[in-house]
Chain A
């Protein structure tokens, strides 16, 4: 059951990721990214991260992607123009990426023992309570710094996007 769920949702994430890169219209890319995020949320659940699966759906797929789609609609962004890419980029880009990926996969296979397995329920400590207690004790300072960061980001967004007052 775990294997089937992993394979199905990994495949969805992969196909949506490829679609994100291949599509020329930004709206299609944004919808593919939502697909990737939803599939990853299911994988988080399989890894025992219930709180983060919910946060992934609410914060990423909910808030951030709505912001993206809102901006795409606001700017009325159409399909991107086909520009000529250099021949070297066309020929060498995909093989180089495949080699890079192969090296990463080889390192992962070499460093980690293959006996390490993941099954649903193997890690019970991913609920809101289990995350909240270390977040407000060990990680209290980073948490407060993030709240300042969010405040600065809000102010920055307002300053950047407001209309110039003559």
Chain B
């Protein structure tokens, strides 16, 4: 039986949705390439929270394993992405994404 002070499951999912939207906002608004990259990490974290919440709902451990894989992929992504940022900075001397737009044309 749930104790009296239990939290509704929906609150966790809504918190996760809010964090994901903040990640989208940061991704679209910010102009610094490192901050944009950190917004992506925020979105990944929000998705992890959703995975773990549904894992709790179904009383199955698979969601934990999925979010473990998300963490591993995020680590690989951070390593490669930051190496790309280093290379871009070496060539352009700038971190503004507006100035790194030559692939658009």
Interface size on B, residues (CB 8 A): 70
Beta-carbon nearest neighbor of A32 in chain B:
B38
Question: Bound complex: CA of A49 vs CA of B61, how far in Å?
Answer: 9
- Can you name the residue of chain A whose Cβ is closest to the Cβ of B58? A123
Q: Min CB distance, A35 to chain B, in Å?
A: 11
Contact (Cβ within 8 A) B62 A134 = yes
Whether, in the assembled complex, A166 has its beta carbon less than 8 Å from a beta carbon of chain B, the answer is no
Which residues of A have CB within 8 Å of B25?
21, 93-94, 97
Neighbouring B residues of A160 by C-beta, 8 Å: 80, 83-84, 86-87
Contact residues of A between 30 and 70, Cβ < 8 Å to B: 30, 33, 36-37, 40, 43-44, 46-49, 51-52, 55-56, 59-60, 63-64, 67-68
Partner among A40, A108, A117, A131 whose Cβ is within 8 Å of the Cβ of B68: A131
Q: Can you list 16 A-B contacts with CB-CB less than 8 angstroms, sorted by A residue number?
A: A6-B11, A17-B42, A26-B32, A36-B19, A40-B49, A47-B56, A49-B52, A72-B34, A75-B86, A80-B32, A94-B25, A105-B14, A119-B6, A126-B64, A146-B69, A150-B76
B interface residues, Cβ below 8 angstroms from A: 2-3, 5-15, 17-19, 21-26, 28-32, 34-35, 37-39, 41-42, 45, 48-49, 52-53, 55-57, 59, 61-62, 64-65, 67-69, 71-80, 82-87, 89, 95-96, 98
